[in-house]
Structure formats: structure tokens, C-alpha cells
Amino acid sequence: MSFDRTSFRDHIEFLCREWERVLNEHQFDAALVPAGSNSNYFADDQSPPFRPNPHFARWVPEPLTENAVLLIRPGVMPKLFFYQPDDFWYVPPQVPAWADGVFDVAVYRDTEIQIKDIAATTHALTNIAYVGPDTELAGNLAITTDDLGPLIDQLDYGRSFKTPFEITNMKGATAIGVRGHLAAHRAFSSGASEFDIHMAYLEASKQTESELPYPNIIALNEHAGTLHYQHYDRDTPEHVHSFLIDAGGKCNGYHSDITRTYSATPGDDFDSLINALDEKQQALISDISLGLSYLDLHERMHHDIAELLVAFEFVTCSPEAAFNQRLTDAFFPHGLGHLLGLQTHDVGSRLTATQAETQDPSGRFPTLRLARQIEANQVFTVEPGIYFIPMLIDSVENPSDINRERFQAFVPFGGIRIEDNILATQDGHENLTRPVFEAALAQ
Ligand code: GLY
Ligand code: MN
Ligand code: MN
């Protein structure tokens, strides 16, 4: 995985300025940012894979940094207290070569000495912001973790604006994901099971399961109607109708989040519906520009989907009525998208709970994760879907305009989701996903 040291240094310079501004605004004179540590499952000596605190990972984009702690002080080179125990059971964390000259690094084999050193270095600081999960460490250092909400909200908010270093990594994550997607599609076309498609994805994208940004969603037939379907059936169903794959890649900690849906029978009605939704998705993306409200885009997609529900005879009323009666909510129950970065669902999608309420005054779309205006250098997904989920149709208040028979005929297909990752730019947007598929398919 390539790592551009020059662009990383620029990224760190940007972060130094950004954190200095935020710390000043909230009247802190430093920030202590632990990577975090893993804990074992209850009554067990095994743990889930380690994931660093994203605030730490933004400074130190290295996956294996358990128990490392970063100290940020305005005007001073960031200090990295790196924990590297002697261990013959596991390979201990390694200081990345690119940390050289960027961080003042001290390596510790013993936690007690590490904590003592952190205490000695922070001793003269009066107001330290503790930005991370290990409250025990904060307790050991006698640093308060009260009243950090507004500072952390602001840091999360700022994480939505990607630096050139971050954008390069997100493009890297896309390339990894697309390689997996193409292999998965080939496996599907040759009649593979969900499990075998999953394995083809891992192999082609050269990711182990625990390195994935999120668990692959590999859904044949009606399984596509479970939004985060999490199983991998070992057998191919007797009749295959459809395939939905939602799977991404990770590059230096940054995620891609990509979904494609295929019909098993090109040219059938389901295939036409995929193409029709794809057109709506592309048309909406082509209009993305700075200053638009993401909520408005989400609402526009509901209107687009209402048109498709009429055109494909899932409802017998007008598109306006389908929208007003909230029939679209039963077919498209999730948000149009979310911020993307070091987390698949980067937080910072809403300013604060109160502001979010004013951004979605009707309260109609509680599952929409992103309620901000589009600003340059944000990366977010655009992922409309149409699903055939009996539970949702059964709960529609006034179902008389639903064509039950037509709906029922599509239940075996599960649903459709099409998800691209979009970078907002000064002059509009860049689709990070499409051109990579197109270039690979053109070869
Ligand atoms: N892969 C999860 C999502 O699309 O939000
Ligand atoms: Mn997504
Ligand atoms: Mn996804």
C-alpha cells in the first residue's frame, strides 16, 4: 500500500493548524489522544480485532497502534508515546517509518513508565482535552473527561473535510474495493454461492476479513431485502434471481463503501428497474454542487423513487401521492448516504442534535445520517435503494394504493442498492467510484 510522505507532512501541518484553532476556541492548552486498547470478550482471552480511535488514526494512519498515546500542543511537534511490549505471543506494534521527523517518538516496553512519562510531560499543562476512549488512562493521569462533548463534536465535524492525503487514500480504498467487486461479479456469473463470492472478493481485494472496512454484504435473492445482511450461505440457491454486493476497501485506514446490484437474467424487469434507479442516481449525482442541502437531495431521491414505483406498477396512485402517503419510505427505508472516511459512517454528519432537528423539520427521515450542506472536500456516499420488504409494506398506514401482486412478484429479488462515493469539489463534485469501474471494465 503506497504512502506519500510529502502529502502526509502537509496533512499533519494542516491538522496542527486545525487542532490549534479548535483547542484555542474551547480553551484547552493541549490534547491527549490515545489510540485505545482492546478488551477481551467476557470470560474469554480472545478479543475482536483492534480499531484505533479515529481522532488518533487521523494523525497516525496505522492500524496497529494499541495503547499508543499522542500529545498535541500548539506550536510543538506532536509527541507520540508508543507502546511496544516485548511479546512472543503476538507481533508487537511497530513505529511506522513515516513517523520519522513528523512526531517526536518515544517507545515504551512498560506501560507504567509510559504513563509516568506522559504525566511528567503534561505536568505543566493546565487544561488538557482528552480525546479518546481509555478513561482509565485519563484517571491515571488525573485528567478530567467532563465537558468534552462540544470539542469532540467540532473535531468530528472537521473530519468531514478531507485533505489531499486523505483523498488519495480514499482513492486507494476505492481501487481495492473495485478489484473485489469485479471478482465477486465474475463469481456470481459463474453460479457461486454467497460464501464463495465473499471469498472471491477477499482474494481479489487482498484483504482479510478483519481488514475490511465493514463486513461484506453478499446477498443473493431475497437476502438483498435485509439491509445489512450478514450471512454467507454455503450453497447456491436452486433459482438465482439477483445479487446485491455492498463491500469496500481500506487504505491507510481510509474506507470506501460501494454497492452494486445485478439481475441474474439480463433484460428482465428487475434488470430494467436496476437500470432505471441507476439513471436516477447518476442524474442526481451530476447535479451535486456546493451549498446544496443533503436533506434536499434525499427528498429529491424519494420523488425519483416515487416515479419509478408508478412506472414499474408497484403503486396505483400518482408519484406525488406515493411521496405524500409515505409509500416511498416503505421501499426506500434508509438514508441517501453518509459521510465517509476513517469510519464507514464517519460521525460529524449532523452538527448537534438540536441543529439536526431544524435541518429535518418534518422529522420524516430519522434514518438519514447526513443532514449538512455540501461543502468542498467532503466525501460522502450516494446510495439510493428500492427494496421488497414485506414487513415494511405490511406496516404502511394506507396500503390501498399498493399493487400487492406486483410487489409480491419482486420479493424473491430482495432489492436494489447502488452506492458510489462522491468528493465535493470547488467546481462541483468528483465521483470516486464510477470511473474506476469503467476503467477496469474497458480493459
Ligand atoms: N455499507 C454500509 C452502508 O452502505 O452504509
Ligand atoms: Mn454506505
Ligand atoms: Mn455500503
Q: What integer pLDDT is reported at residue 195 of this predicted model?
A: 99
Q: What integer pLDDT is reported at residue 75 of this predicted model?
A: 96
Residue with cell 487544561: 127
Q: What integer pLDDT is reported at residue 361 of this predicted model?
A: 63
**Residue 443 and residue 438: Cα distance in Å, rounded?**
9
Q: For residues 299 and 271, is the Cβ–Cβ distance under 8 A?
A: no
Closest CA to 300 of 314, 276, 281: 281
Q: How many whole angstroms from its chain centre is CA 374? A: 17
Q: Residues 152-167: pLDDT tens digits?
A: 999 999 999 999 999 9
Amino acid type, 211: E
Assess whether the C-beta atom of 246 lies below 6 angstroms from ligand 1: yes
Kindly give the number of the ligand 1 atom that is closest to the alpha carbon of 257.
1
Closest protein CA for atom 3 of ligand 1: 257
Q: What mean pLDDT do residues 234-256 have? A: 98
User: At 253, is the pLDDT very low, low, confident or very high (cuts 50, 70, 90)?
Assistant: very high
Which residues are CB-neighbours of 344 under 8 A, at least 6 positions away?
A: 213, 214, 248, 255, 257, 338
Q: How far away, in angstroms, is 41 Cα from ligand 3 center?
A: 27
Amino acid type, 286: S
Instruction: Please count the other Cβ atoms lying within 10 Å of the Cβ belonging to residue 235.
Output: 9
Residue 49 has pLDDT above 80, yes or no: yes
Q: What are the helix (H) ranges across 312-433?
A: 319-324, 327-331, 353-359, 390-394, 404-410
Q: Residues 392-416: pLDDT tens digits?
A: 999 999 999 999 999 999 999 999 9
Q: How far apart are the first and last CA of the chain?
A: 23
Query: Please, what is the average pLDDT of the chain?
Result: 95
Amino acid type, 354: T
Q: How far away, in angstroms, is 22 Cα from ligand 1 center?
A: 30
Residue with cell 489531499: 164
Q: What mean pLDDT do residues 90-119 have? A: 97
Assess whether the C-beta atom of 154 lies below 6 angstroms from ligand 1: no
Tell me what percent of the residues of the chain surpass a pLDDT of 90: 89
Candidate of 246, 346, 369, 380 to mutate for ligand 1, largest count of ligand atoms within 8 Å of Cβ:
246
428 membership: H or E segment, kind and range: strand 428-431
Q: What integer pLDDT is reported at residue 352 of this predicted model?
A: 54
Which DSSP category does 293 fall into? Answer: B
Tell me what percent of the residues of the chain surpass a pLDDT of 70: 97
Residue 134 has pLDDT above 90, yes or no: no
Assess whether the C-beta atom of 299 lies below 6 angstroms from ligand 1: no
Instruction: Please count the other Cβ atoms lying within 10 Å of the Cβ belonging to residue 109.
Output: 12
Assess whether the C-beta atom of 344 lies below 6 angstroms from ligand 1: yes
Candidate of 228, 379, 422 to mutate for ligand 1, largest count of ligand atoms within 8 Å of Cβ:
228
Amino acid type, 394: D
Residue 442 has pLDDT above 90, yes or no: yes
The CA–CA distances, whole Å, from 417 to 69, 245, 337, 338, 359 equal 40, 9, 11, 14, 25
Q: What is the pTM of this model?
A: 0.96
Assess whether the C-beta atom of 419 lies below 6 angstroms from ligand 1: yes
Q: What mean pLDDT do residues 271-290 have? A: 98
Q: For residues 57 and 64, is the Cβ–Cβ distance under 8 A?
A: no
Q: What integer pLDDT is reported at residue 196 of this predicted model?
A: 98
Q: Residues 340-392: pLDDT tens digits?
A: 999 999 988 766 544 544 566 678 898 888 988 999 999 999 999 999 999 99
Q: How far away, in angstroms, is 10 Cα from ligand 1 center?
A: 30
